[in-house]
């Protein structure tokens, strides 16, 4: 991994050198500087330069003009792309995202327009000199996220910075400067004025870049959670029975689940399912006469709500559907030890079972800690994987239609029963499957639904 990153750095350095050879100032800028100073491998390298965008296009044979009016060009070099931006100072912002005008300037003014001090430094990649006009090195050493200059002005320029402050603080385990935090809290109700695509991307990054629990605690503390995900904020104070949930209320449980998300191991869909698996519990809560609290139906009822939230965050339909499926089935494993062998095979052989079992593990470890049902499923799945894979169904929907059934609510139920019979050896051929259908589920009278 480090070798690949070093090659990326060498290619970025080659871009810097070519700009300098043409007589222009060029420096590494922003997050890559921060990460190198922290001893981390940057995901990418951005370059700031005194060269106008038109000149950058002349110097490099392969470029993509991603924002010429802002002096931004992508330079394609040896199979990689590097954002090269002309030093600038920004004019007024009217949409909380982009300035209406820019004035090309120098490195100092370019640093002062950036979001946070730790992201406002430059690095000379040839000498190792850090150019810091905004106090970024001191805040890096102290572990503080601080807006450059006036926090209100920085957040007015781009409301997404409210979320970015939380993400960086969570990811690096840092605090947020009190003045900056106060501005985030004050402006939290305005966050929905920006595109939900951008909001959704930041929320997913908070979930998947590490320290998701810390990120969501900060979101709650500054009021962003209540605005963006009121369904999650509403989990605070929803009591649970201590026998199954000694950890406390539903939000406490959810935060403990988020704490177990691991970078590189858990993808967007699973992370969202971990966040949303108990989203409907406030509406399902019932207290029994013996004092126990139940949440009957919260898996099934929570699934469509989870999907709607994913779509609000502008996740793909495939992701929303996957999250809904995980939420709907996240307690199904509890019944596994009592399932018929055919039902168990079908349950453990379905696509996505690995993610579902991981969700159940995280859920159980964040509650009573009882992993018996999860471990049963893992062991049985290992046994089944050692056997032949699940066969193709001998009875399909086309067979039902051909034998006089019309598509309707019972179609899936009939096909599942037929597949169970096949897995248990009762049905072994297509003709046997059709005979089973005629005997067990004869076609209804003409005009009646299947």
pLDDT score recorded for residue 1: 41
> pLDDT at position 417, please?
81
How distant, in Å, are the alpha carbons of 230, 255, 323 from that of 305? Answer: 12, 19, 10
Q: Which CATH architecture has domain 1-142?
A: 2-Layer Sandwich (3.30)
> Would you mind telling me the total number of residues written for the chain in this entry?
450
Give the residue among 87, 114, 82, 89 at the shortest CA–CA distance from 17.
Answer: 82
The pLDDT, as a whole number, for residue 439 is 87
**What does DSSP say about strands 46-49 and 80-86: parallel, antiparallel, or unpaired?**
parallel
Report the pLDDT value the prediction gives residue 99, as an integer from 0 to 100: 65
Q: Of 129, 122, 137, 99, whose CA–CA distance to 50 is shortest?
A: 122
Whether residue 255 contacts residue 217, with contact meaning beta carbons closer than 8 Å, is answered with yes
CA-to-CA distance for 14 and 77, rounded, in angstroms? 9
Does an H or E element contain 281, and which?
helix 281-284
End-to-end CA distance of the chain: 57
Segment 330-358, tens digit of pLDDT: 999 999 999 988 889 889 988 789 999 99
pTM of the full predicted structure? 0.83
pLDDT for residue 101: 59
Euclidean distance between CA atoms 30 and 123, whole angstroms: 9
What whole-number distance in Å separates Cα of residue 111 and Cα of residue 99? 16
Predicted confidence at residue 448, as pLDDT, reads 44
pLDDT profile of the chain (450 residues), mean per 10: 70 96 97 96 94 95 90 92 92 65 86 96 96 97 97 94 97 97 97 95 96 97 98 96 90 97 94 97 91 91 96 96 95 93 86 93 95 95 76 83 76 80 84 88 60
Domain spans, the chain: 1-142, 272-336+350-386, 397-440
Residue 92: per-residue pLDDT: 67
What sections of 22-149 are H helices per DSSP? 31-37, 53-59, 107-112, 136-142
**Integer Cα distance of 165 and 408 in angstroms:** 51
Tokens of 105: 């300037």
Q: What is the reported pLDDT for 64?
A: 94
Of 37, 45, 39, 41, nearest to 4 by C-alpha is 41
């Amino acid at each position: 991994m480090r070798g690949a990153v070093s090659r990326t750095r060498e290619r970025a350095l080659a871009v810097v050198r070519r700009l300098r050879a043409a007589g222009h100032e060029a420096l590494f800028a922003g997050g890559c500087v921060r990460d190198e100073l922290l001893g981390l491998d940057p995901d990418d390298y951005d370059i700031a330069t005194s060269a106008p965008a038109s000149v950058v296009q002349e110097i490099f044979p392969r470029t993509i003009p991603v924002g010429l009016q802002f002096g931004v060009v992508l330079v394609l070099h040896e199979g990689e792309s590097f954002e090269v931006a002309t030093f600038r100072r920004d004019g007024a912002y009217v949409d909380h995202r982009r300035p209406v005008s820019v004035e090309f300037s120098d490195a100092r003014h370019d640093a002062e327009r950036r979001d946070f001090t730790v992201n406002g430094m430059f690095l000379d990649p040839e000498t190792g000199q850090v150019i810091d006009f905004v106090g970024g090195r001191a805040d890096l050493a102290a572990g503080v996220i601080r807006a450059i200059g006036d926090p209100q002005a920085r957040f007015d320029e781009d409301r997404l910075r409210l979320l970015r402050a939380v993400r960086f603080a969570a990811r690096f385990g840092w605090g947020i400067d009190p003045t900056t935090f106060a501005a985030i809290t004050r402006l939290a109700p305005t966050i929905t004025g920006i595109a939900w695509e951008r909001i959704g991307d930041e929320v997913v990054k908070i979930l998947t870049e590490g320290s998701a629990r810390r990120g969501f605690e900060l979101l709650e503390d500054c009021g962003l959670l209540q605005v963006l995900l009121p369904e999650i904020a509403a989990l605070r104070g929803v009591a649970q029975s201590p026998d199954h949930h000694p950890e406390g209320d539903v939000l406490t449980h959810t935060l403990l689940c988020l704490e177990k998300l691991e970078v590189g191991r858990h993808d967007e869909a699973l992370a969202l399912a971990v966040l949303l698996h108990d989203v409907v519990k406030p509406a399902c809560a019932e207290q029994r006469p013996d004092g126990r609290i139940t949440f009957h139906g919260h898996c099934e009822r929570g699934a469509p709500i989870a999907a709607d939230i994913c779509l609000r965050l502008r996740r793909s339909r495939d992701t929303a559907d996957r999250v809904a499926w995980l939420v709907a089935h996240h307690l199904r494993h509890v019944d596994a030890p009592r399932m018929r062998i055919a039902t168990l095979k079908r349950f453990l052989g379905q696509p996505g079972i690995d993610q579902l079992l991981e969700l159940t593990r995280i859920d159980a470890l964040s509650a009573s800690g009882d992993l018996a049902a999860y471990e049963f499923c893992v062991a049985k799945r290992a046994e089944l994987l050692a056997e032949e894979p699940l066969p193709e169904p001998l009875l399909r929907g086309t067979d039902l239609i051909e034998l006089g059934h019309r598509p309707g609510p019972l179609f899936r139920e009939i096909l599942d029963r037929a597949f169970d019979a096949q897995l248990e050896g009762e049905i072994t051929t297509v003709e046997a499957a059709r005979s089973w259908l005629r005997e067990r589920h004869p076609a209804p009278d003409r005009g009646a639904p299947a």
